[in-house]
Amino acid sequence: MSGEQEKINSKKIVEQVIQNVMTQNDDEASMTLEEMEKQQKEADAVLGASDADNCSYSKGYVARQALYSCLTCTIDGEMAGICLACSLTCHKDCEMVELYTKRNFRCDCGNSKMKRGCDLEKNKEPINSNNTYNHNYKGLYCTCDRPYPDPDCPPELEDDEMIQCIICEDWYHGTCLKIEKSMLEKEDNGELICIECISKHEHLQYYNTLNPETETVSEKCLRPKTKIDVGNCGMFVKESFRVDLCSCDLCKSVLNEDSLLFLIAQGDSMEEYEDIGQEKIEAENSQTDNQINSLLNNLDSRGQQEIAYGIHSLKSAISSMLGAVEDGGEVTADHVAIFKRKLEADIEERKKRRRLDA
């Protein structure tokens, strides 16, 4: 084998396969490779832009971060939110509610709302007066005030996916929003504004995706001229809503009065937050690749060969296994068995060759 290094850019797949090999047992439902990749991507996107090691408290009210609520440590009757790092250290054995992400929030871990202190950041004010809370912090969602997952879900809500309102950030059942099924099932239905937020912020009604108005108020004000009556139900706005939203002086002052300026601030949308997360993970991955490659550079040629051979074995065992998996098929215990056999055979072969070398 030449001393040339193998560039490792399939790190994620390797990690997933190893994870799958470690946890695979016969009764466990197996996952398709696509599902594995999708899950990893979603987790990276939500968590990637948040710090897993340092409490976010010192950053103040963070525009957007992954948040949790601890049902074990929060004082009865209080609501509190905890950053990613605190959820992993201070509350690792607690009963937690995953809040996905929330905007403009400062970590409450260890303050006057909690039964215990924070291990990561001792110096905290007793209260974060700018934080806002809703029933999500108690693990409840929607106008129906139900938990998710919902063990006693009523049959009419069983097929409902939950959708997040971009204004109040609560999650809603389509049924409870009284939005038509055909609208809910549309792939590109855009972003949701819930019933309560629509009635509070009349200005947003102009931007309903169902509004056929093409004329704007004037050349300066780009708000649609007329709106349609949505009645007492939720509505969708286009994916490009934040860009489309007119920010002329008059519209801006309306948004300001309604405390909605965050809609035209940069970095508020989930999409932007997720992009930052992805970029961070990609940067970390390429850093790992560089570290591995520089490690290889510093080894003597024998060491280089050993590692390169190990990577080669792992890769070829994975490709044998993937070869046996049909496109979009499932990785089953049988496939994992093929992977293990191939890896064992390679290691055996390597040992034999080493004995011959000696």
Residues that bind Zn ion (CB under 5 A): 55, 70, 72-73, 83, 86, 90-91, 94, 107, 109, 118, 120, 142, 144, 165, 167-168, 173, 176, 194, 197, 221, 223, 246, 248, 251
Q: How far is the CB of 283 from Zn ion (least distance, A)?
A: 23
Q: For 30, left (φ over 0), alpha (ψ -120 to 50), or beta?
A: beta
CB under 8 Å to 20, separation ≥6 — which residues? Answer: 30, 31, 36, 331, 336
**336 neighbors 35 (Cβ within 8 angstroms):** no
Task: Closer to Zn ion by CB, 223 or 335: give it.
Answer: 223
Give, in order, the Cα–Cα distances in Å from 111 to each of 60, 76, 118. Answer: 14, 14, 8
Task: Closer to Zn ion by CB, 114 or 314: give it.
Answer: 114
Q: How far is the C-alpha of 101 from the C-alpha of 125, rounded, in Å?
A: 22
Q: How far is the C-alpha of 350 from the C-alpha of 343, rounded, in Å?
A: 11
Task: Closer to Zn ion by CB, 66 or 251: give it.
Answer: 251
**232 neighbors 211 (Cβ within 8 angstroms):** no
Radius of gyration, CA atoms only, the chain: 26
Q: How far is the C-alpha of 335 from the C-alpha of 345, rounded, in Å?
A: 15
Give, in order, the Cα–Cα distances in Å from 241 to each of 162, 190, 236, 258. Answer: 20, 8, 10, 17
The owner of tokens 């790190």 is 11
Residue 163 bridge partners (DSSP):
172
Q: How far is the CB of 164 from Zn ion (least distance, A)?
A: 9
Residue 83 bridge partners (DSSP):
67
Q: How far is the CB of 140 from Zn ion (least distance, A)?
A: 10
Give, in order, the Cα–Cα distances in Å from 239 to each of 105, 211, 242, 244, 270. Answer: 24, 15, 8, 9, 11
Q: How far is the CB of 206 from Zn ion (least distance, A)?
A: 10
Task: Closer to Zn ion by CB, 113 or 335: give it.
Answer: 113
Structure tokens at 346: 């390679």
Q: How far is the CB of 281 from Zn ion (least distance, A)?
A: 21
Q: How far is the CB of 237 from Zn ion (least distance, A)?
A: 12
Instruction: Give the other-Cβ count within 10 Å of 357's Cβ.
Output: 6
Task: Closer to Zn ion by CB, 13 or 94: give it.
Answer: 94
Q: How far is the CB of 177 from Zn ion (least distance, A)?
A: 8
Residue 146 bridge partners (DSSP):
141
Q: How far is the CB of 353 from Zn ion (least distance, A)?
A: 53
